């Protein structure tokens, strides 16, 4: 028996389990205070980020042939290996890469790729096959899996004002918190407390009214826990002045203050670059790179980087050949970026994308995205991936 | 509440923005069918949006100096805001509530973003004009509107370099839905729309030099198709009628569609050649529309929620920014859908923070943030209540909203019991807890504020 399980079981034996968990989060969580704690941070780039202009395969002539006007010029590229380099707007990540805190997995995708934003984003967020429609997200199903720390909505926090499908399970869902203080204040109203008390012992129906009351009750408990735990922590680290950097700053505050959250979710949009791509994508990549670099350094300083993994994905990459409007159309496979203090394989994880063997002008995937998820589930979140992904994936070796 | 009145309340909750006491007076004694006719007759009126006076040409300003550019961007933001507020006001006061409700439906169906407020207003007026008209006309005009041409990059869709964005969304989201076409259909139909663009004055223009006049094979038919032909072929497929009816059903009836009812709607829609009014007449008169499971179980969209509150209490905002803030906090900024699929709706409207906002907004607007209630309070609560009372004036000053309580109260029937009042405001049944709370209340205004601050009020 693992030490963590032993401690939990002894706490259960002491009678703590009699308390409905959503009513007593502070007490219920105290039992986990001694456990090692790993955080997963997911960053979603919405709109279909052009991976080929992010991690540039500069040594491949085909890249320059197919992208006459929008290819990143050789001298501007920040070289990582003999084959691939960073978009110049990701300059801030070079230091992170050199420290061994970054890994790039090339050509991640799935069979029969879908080129619709919504559908492909759903596939990534639910972890489904291309022809399978799931209504729960993969993190949501992780919450459903009865893992030791999954009883509470705050096990998965999306720092945003709405909750993504990825975070919604069948029974459980994560919580969206843009500003913990504000959310907490909103739940303090005595009238709402009365409504909560009246319904605290109800068996909620499956209907929307039951759903609303259940959400209200869970919000109340989680808001209190998040606020009480994180309010005293202040960071000395410098972050860029962007809303996205602010979201990562909030995540760092939560992690560094010792919140028992396992998964954090943030997103950055603006990557749908059908026209005049270079400026638009450059702007977004700079926002992304600068914020992530600040975030990683903040965690390092607080001694939390070894306990944290960051994964960045987008719903698809873009077509290899540019279009007539100096942009790129929807494509398929893409790179996934991983950050963390304890990476098993640092740097570029696998072969650079193959630009000569394409599927209808698009990259062929070499790694199923669910193998990335499986790795995170098995090795980081301590739950068997088949429980969440509905079949078993063998996983990768980046951690 | 008699079952007739209950059904009329349900009708107003779905075909409009909720039943006001004022409406209650109007429909008393009417059958459901008569109430449907009344709503349809009122919807004949079309109030165009006209707040944006003209088109500002972006390109002229790009060439101008920095100072002018900044002014232009400011003006652009002002216009976006003005257009948004103007529509909220229209929905909040119009008697043509079914037309506005349907305009909102099409606004979401043909979700579109543009920074040009003139284009946005044009598209909004197209959706309003045809809100209950013919779907094909609506679809054609939307497809040819500068806002949509720009948003889905058809301006860049040219003979030698097709841009598939519009063609794909036309099928996936606007007409036939997934599973009914192939990637090749997307590519071929994109060619048919090559050359569709607009002039800098915001007029549609088919540009023959950019059009691919070759043969295209689309949904098993081959010909030198133009954009109009593609739309005709799509509407010939009954799947399109079913797709639209399915969406209408989820919006107006129940999030879980009944195949039988959706097919019945699609029959009406298809056989009337995509006329919307007969379809709605059929829907709102159908027995199954009034089944118990379809009543009070849809989550109001943020705009329905805000507009419903405005209408019931005759709220006017001196500072329109407040309305925008509400839209933002609740996750539905008009003219700014998250993507071309529109707002996903249903339970997606609700998460922890948006729910807390929704519960708080009514008391913030109606009573400076104070909810007077008769329950037991502990010392911590006393402190909270004291603080909110102290802040009441500051909140009222900040919100800058006027509520016409006199008009609200004057329309409540003299003999109406507190329970009857509650049952007009809430579309759900009343739980024991709520009934208890209603019976305890001694002040109508305080009770009403309690009622609109409940999870029940989020439903329609």
Q: What is the ipTM of this complex?
A: 0.94
Question: Is B360 within 8 Å of chain A by CB?
Answer: yes
Q: What is the pLDDT of residue A3?
A: 38
pLDDT at A23 over 50: no
As a whole number of angstroms, the distance between CA B204 and CA B123 comes to 12
pLDDT band at B387 (very low <50, low <70, confident <90, very high): confident
Picking from A39, A57, A30, the residue whose alpha carbon sits closest to that of residue A340 is A39
Please give the DSSP secondary-structure letter assigned to residue A17: G
Q: What is the pLDDT of residue B320?
A: 87
Tell me whether residues B454 and A190 touch, CB distance under 8 A: no
pLDDT band at B64 (very low <50, low <70, confident <90, very high): low
Residue A217: closest C-alpha in chain B: B352
Tell me whether residues B161 and A324 touch, CB distance under 8 A: yes
How far B249 CA lies from chain A's nearest CA (Å)?
17
Helix axes A208-230 and B352-367, enclosed angle (nearest 10): 90
Q: What is the pLDDT of residue A67?
A: 97
Average pLDDT estimate for B265-287:
98
Average pLDDT over all residues of chain A: 89
Region label for A267, one of left (φ > 0), alpha (ψ between -120 and 50) or beta (otherwise)? beta
Please give the DSSP secondary-structure letter assigned to residue B171: I
Tell me whether residues A222 and B357 touch, CB distance under 8 A: no
Q: What HEC string does A231-269 produce? A: CCCCCCCCCCCCHHHHHHHHHHHHHHCCCCCCEEEEEEE
pLDDT digits (tens, 9 = 90+) for A186-241: 888 999 988 988 887 777 777 999 999 989 998 999 999 999 999 989 888 999 99
Of A117, A161, A212, the CB nearest to B455: A212
Residues of A in contact with B339 (CB under 8 A): 117-118
Of B347, B351, B450, the CB nearest to A176: B351
SS3 content of chain A, % helix, strand, coil (to 5): 40, 15, 45
Of all residues in chain B, the percent with pLDDT exceeding 90 is 79
Tell me whether residues B352 and A162 touch, CB distance under 8 A: no
Angle B253-B256-B261 (CA atoms, 0-180°, nearest 5)? Answer: 60
Of A161, A177, A192, the CB nearest to B359: A192
Task: Give A362's strand partners.
Answer: A359
Torsion sign (Cα): A41, A342, A90, A277: negative
pLDDT digits (tens, 9 = 90+) for B404-427: 999 999 999 988 999 999 999 999
pLDDT at A18 over 60: no
Residue A202 contacts residue A214 (beta carbons within 8 Å) = no
Tell me whether residues B351 and A207 touch, CB distance under 8 A: no
Q: What is the pLDDT of residue A172?
A: 83
Chain B, 209-248: which have a CB under 8 Å from a chain A CB?
Answer: none
Picking from A48, A158, A195, A62, the residue whose alpha carbon sits closest to that of residue A109 is A48
pLDDT digits (tens, 9 = 90+) for B95-110: 999 999 999 999 999 9
Question: Is A229 within 8 Å of chain B by CB?
Answer: no
A338 vs A218: which has the higher pLDDT? A338
As a whole number of angstroms, the distance between CA B54 and CA B118 comes to 6
Task: Give A45's strand partners.
Answer: A268, A314
Q: Which range, of A44-58, A346-360, B52-66, B167-181, averages the lowest pLDDT?
A: B52-66
Q: What is the pLDDT of residue A34?
A: 37
Residues of A in contact with B296 (CB under 8 A): 209
Tell me whether residues A216 and B339 touch, CB distance under 8 A: no
Please give the DSSP secondary-structure letter assigned to residue B181: S
Picking from B176, B142, B133, the residue whose alpha carbon sits closest to that of residue B272 is B133
As a whole number of angstroms, the distance between CA B230 and CA B222 comes to 11
pLDDT at B314 over 90: yes
Average pLDDT estimate for B260-266:
98
Residues of A in contact with B375 (CB under 8 A): 190-191, 194
Residue A312 contacts residue A266 (beta carbons within 8 Å) = no
Average pLDDT estimate for B128-153:
97
Count of beta carbons in the 10 Å neighbourhood of residue B397: 9
Residues of B in contact with A182 (CB under 8 A): 353
Residues of B in contact with A163 (CB under 8 A): 351-352
> Which run of H or E residues covers position A289?
helix A277-301
Residue B198 contacts residue B55 (beta carbons within 8 Å) = no
What CA dihedral angle connects B371, B376, B380 and B381, to 10 degrees? 0
pLDDT digits (tens, 9 = 90+) for B213-247: 999 999 999 999 999 999 999 999 999 999 999 99
Picking from B337, B315, B361, B343, the residue whose alpha carbon sits closest to that of residue B89 is B315
As a whole number of angstroms, the distance between CA A263 and CA A167 comes to 9
Q: What is the pLDDT of residue B59?
A: 67
């Amino acid at each position: 028996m693992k030490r963590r399980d032993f401690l939990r079981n002894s706490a259960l034996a002491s009678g703590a389990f009699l308390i409905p968990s959503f009513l007593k989060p502070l007490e219920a969580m105290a039992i986990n205070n001694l456990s090692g704690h790993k955080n997963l941070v997911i960053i979603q780039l919405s709109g279909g980020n052009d991976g080929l202009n992010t991690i540039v395969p500069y040594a491949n002539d085909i890249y320059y042939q197919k992208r006459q006007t929008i290819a990143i010029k050789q001298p501007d590229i920040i070289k990582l290996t003999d084959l691939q380099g960073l978009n110049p707007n990701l300059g801030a990540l070079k230091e992170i890469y050199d420290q061994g805190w970054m890994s790039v997995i090339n050509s991640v995708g799935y069979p029969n790729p879908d080129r619709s934003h919504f559908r492909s984003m759903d596939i990534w967020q639910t972890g489904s096959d291309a022809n399978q429609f799931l209504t729960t997200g993969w993190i949501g199903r992780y919450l459903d899996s009865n893992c030791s720390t999954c009883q509470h909505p705050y096990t998965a926090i999306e720092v945003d004002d709405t909750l993504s499908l990825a975070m919604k399970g069948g029974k459980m869902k994560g919580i969206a918190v843009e500003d913990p203080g504000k959310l907490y204040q909103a739940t303090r109203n005595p009238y709402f407390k009365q409504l909560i008390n009246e319904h605290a012992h109800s068996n909620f129906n499956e209907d929307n009214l039951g759903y609303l009351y259940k959400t209200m009750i869970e919000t109340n408990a989680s808001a209190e826990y998040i606020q009480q735990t994180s309010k005293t922590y202040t960071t000395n680290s410098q972050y860029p002045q962007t809303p996205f950097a602010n979201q990562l700053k909030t995540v760092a505050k939560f992690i560094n203050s010792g919140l028992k959250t396992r998964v954090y979710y943030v997103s950055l949009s603006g990557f749908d670059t059908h026209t005049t791509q270079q400026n638009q994508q450059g702007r977004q990549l700079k926002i992304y790179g600068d914020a992530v670099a600040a975030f990683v350094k903040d965690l390092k300083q607080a001694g939390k980087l070894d306990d944290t993994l960051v994964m960045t994905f987008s719903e698809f990459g873009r077509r290899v050949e540019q279009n007539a409007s100096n942009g790129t159309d929807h494509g398929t496979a893409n790179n996934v970026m991983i950050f963390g203090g304890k990476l098993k394989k640092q740097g570029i994880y696998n072969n650079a994308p193959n630009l000569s063997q394409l599927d209808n002008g698009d990259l062929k995937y070499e790694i199923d995205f669910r193998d990335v998820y499986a790795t995170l589930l098995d090795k980081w979140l301590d739950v068997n991936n088949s429980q969440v992904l509905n079949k078993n994936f063998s996983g990768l070796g980046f951690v | 509440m008699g079952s007739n009145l209950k059904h009329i309340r349900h009708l107003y909750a779905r075909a409009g923005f909720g039943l006001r006491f004022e409406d209650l007076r109007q429909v008393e004694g009417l059958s459901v069918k008569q109430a449907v006719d009344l709503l349809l007759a009122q919807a004949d009126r079309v109030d165009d949006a006209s707040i944006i006076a003209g088109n500002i040409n972006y390109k002229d300003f790009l060439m101008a100096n920095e100072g002018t550019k900044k002014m232009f961007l400011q003006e652009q933001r002002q216009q976006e805001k003005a257009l948004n507020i103007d529509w909220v006001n229209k929905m909040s006061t119009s008697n043509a509530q079914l037309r506005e409700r349907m305009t909102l439906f099409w606004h979401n169906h043909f979700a579109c973003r543009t920074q040009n407020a003139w284009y946005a207003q044009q598209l909004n007026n197209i959706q309003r004009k045809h809100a209950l008209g013919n779907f094909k006309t609506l679809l054609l005009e939307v497809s040819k509107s500068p806002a949509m041409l720009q948003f889905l990059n058809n301006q860049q869709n040219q003979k030698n370099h097709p841009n598939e964005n519009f063609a794909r969304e036309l099928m996936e989201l606007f007409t036939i839905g997934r599973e009914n076409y192939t990637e090749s259909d997307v590519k071929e139909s994109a060619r048919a729309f090559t050359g569709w663009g607009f002039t800098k004055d915001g007029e549609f223009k088919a540009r023959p030099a950019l059009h691919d006049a070759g043969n295209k094979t689309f949904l098993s038919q081959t010909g030198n198709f133009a954009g109009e032909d593609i739309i005709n072929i799509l509407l010939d497929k009954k799947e399109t009628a079913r797709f639209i009816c399915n969406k209408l059903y989820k919006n107006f009836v129940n999030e879980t569609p009944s195949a039988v009812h959706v097919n019945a709607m699609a029959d009406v829609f298809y056989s009337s050649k995509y006329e919307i009014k007969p379809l709605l007449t059929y829907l709102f008169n159908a027995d199954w529309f009034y089944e118990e499971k379809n009543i009070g179980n849809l989550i109001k969209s943020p705009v329905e929620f805000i507009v419903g509150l405005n209408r019931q209490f005759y709220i006017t905002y001196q500072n329109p920014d407040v309305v925008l803030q509400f839209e933002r906090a609740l996750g539905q900024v008009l003219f700014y859908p998250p993507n071309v699929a529109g707002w996903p709706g249903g339970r997606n409207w609700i998460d922890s923070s948006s729910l807390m906002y929704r519960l708080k907004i009514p008391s913030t607007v109606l009573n400076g943030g104070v909810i007077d209630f008769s329950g037991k309070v502990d010392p911590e609560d006393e402190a909270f209540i004291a603080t909110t009372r102290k802040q009441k004036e500051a909140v009222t000053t900040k919100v800058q909203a006027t509520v016409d309580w006199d008009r609200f109260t004057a329309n409540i029937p003299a003999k109406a019991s507190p329970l009857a009042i509650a049952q007009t405001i809430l579309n759900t049944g009343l739980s024991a807890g709520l009934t208890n709370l209603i019976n305890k209340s001694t002040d109508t205004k305080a009770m009403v504020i309690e009622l609109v601050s409940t999870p029940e009020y989020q439903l329609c």
